[in-house]
Amino acid sequence: MSDFMSPRAAHAVDWQRHFTSLADAIERLQQRGETTLSSFAGEQSDFIRFNAGKVRQSGAVSQGKLTLRLIDGARQAYSTLTVCGELEQDIDEVRAALATLREGLRDAADDPHLLFDTSAWQRTTRRSGRLPDPHRLLRVVTECARGLDFVGFYAGGTIVRGFASTRGSRGWYEVDNFNFSWSLYDPSGRAIKTTYAGDDWSDAVFAGKVQQAATRLAVLARAPRALAPGRYRAWLAPAALAELLGVTAWRGFSARAQASSRSELYKMHVGDIALDRRVTLSEDLGLGITPGFNDDGYLRDSVALITAGRSAGQLTNARSAREYGLTPNGALAEESPASLAMQPGDLMDEDVLAHLGSGLYIGNLWYVNFSDRMNCRLTGMTRFATFWVENGEIAAPLEAMRFDDSLYRLIGSELEQIGAHAELLLSDGTWGERATGGMQLPGILAKSFELTL
């Protein structure tokens, strides 16, 4: 048995061929004056849950979901159905769904914000990965986790997305990737969380990450340090920065939220606030972790969001473009970045503790939310993987504490250095299906980070 596998070879359904056949059938079923936009989401994935270094649950999923959007004039209606992979049966389901949508459109009101791309285009992205064979993975985890309280969740396989319009557009996105997150627990109940994600699995890289986390378990066993509320120098690792940017970016770069003055980054958008000039953020489609098209039929391109510390662009969906007189740039319906990238700096990983000196090493953050939206002020908990550092050495774990600070400060006036390595953090969402997208972020060294209790 090979140590690595191709999910496409491991399962029977060729989703691209199946979706193409369904799209052809939809064109034949089209009636005069109608346009149908078809969106497909599917996967062939393996899931394994570990507890105490042993398998507690495992399984494989092969599924496909088709959303039909029938448009007639300024009226539209949607229907989503699960496809089984049997062509004739699925075509019958599509035929019935289109008939139901036509019936619904008879009494539907015009949609004043309806806008979709009417051009004809073709785009295909296929990226094969090197993923671990599930049986081989079990042996690797057992070996690496020997003697450790290892709790984790692995999800890996092929993710597919498709789009077809009866106006002539066809898009297909198919990638192999994996996302493995785990925690090593100390008898005290504290833990160190680690993730490994990508499309080129390496046993050696995984083992190295487990070993790196294991070396810090001895620190967790020390008496935790309790700090008084106040501001402290801090290193925020990429995963911690991702929590802050993820919450902010949900509406922060939205054209709709900015036009209605509800964006948490509105003060940046209008030019009242600027960040440190070293901060550059973009929706980077070049990472290849999200499809290059959206459900409105628009091709997606990279969008500069913050350049040299100043607002440079926004994510504009078709509906927002229609409502506010803007030009759509292929943004998703929620107008949140799906491939957020931050330009790295020059602080090498091995130099982080020395440059931090004495302060906080924050591995990740939890339960982040806004405490003051208009000032982009965020609150949450430090919880696990946060350490007190003295003279460039990790001294003790930190008791869980609440923070409350503004992102404007952290990557503005308080930004001291940016990490040289930008880590790829794939989305770990599995609600209903494995998600595409993620972030590529470095860590940041802040002159001060505010703990409140």
Residue 270 neighbours by CB under 8 Å, 6+ apart? none
**pLDDT tier for residue 128 given thresholds of 50, 70 and 90:** very high
Give the CATH number of the domain where residue 190 resides.
Answer: 3.30.2290.10
Q: Which runs of consecutive H residues, i.e. helices, occur in 186-275?
A: 203-215, 217-220, 238-252, 255-259, 266-269
Among candidates 107, 111, 86, 73, which has minimal Cα distance to 17?
86
Percent of all residues in the chain with a pLDDT value above 90, rounded to a whole number: 93
What average pLDDT does the segment 310-333 reach? 97
| pLDDT of 50 higher than 60 | yes
**pLDDT tier for residue 1 given thresholds of 50, 70 and 90:** very low
Q: Which domain holds residue 166?
A: 4-218
Q: Which of 198, 218, 238 is the last residue of a domain?
A: 218
279, 175: one domain: no
Q: Per residue in 80-111, pLDDT tens?
A: 999 999 999 999 999 999 999 999 999 999 99
232, 214: one domain: no
What pLDDT shows up at residue 51?
95
What pLDDT shows up at residue 12?
62
253, 197: one domain: no
Mean of pLDDT over the chain: 95
Q: Which residues is 172 bridged to in the sheet?
A: 124, 162
202, 275: one domain: no
166, 288: one domain: no
122, 234: one domain: no
243, 197: one domain: no
227, 130: one domain: no
9, 145: one domain: yes
Q: Which of 203, 218, 233 is the last residue of a domain?
A: 218
Q: Which of 172, 203, 218 is the last residue of a domain?
A: 218
Q: Per residue in 3-31, pLDDT tens?
A: 555 554 445 689 999 999 999 999 999 99
- Which residue type, as a one-letter code, is found at position 303? V
* Number of domains forming the structure of the chain: 2
Please state the pTM of the whole predicted model: 0.94
Strand 170-185 relative to strand 122-127, pairing: parallel
| pLDDT of 233 higher than 80 | yes
201, 277: one domain: no
| pLDDT of 2 higher than 60 | no
Q: How many whole angstroms separate alpha carbon 271 and alpha carbon 373? A: 17
138, 93: one domain: yes
What average pLDDT does the segment 374-402 reach? 94
What average pLDDT does the segment 198-214 reach? 96
177, 289: one domain: no
What average pLDDT does the segment 247-266 reach? 97
What average pLDDT does the segment 40-44 reach? 96
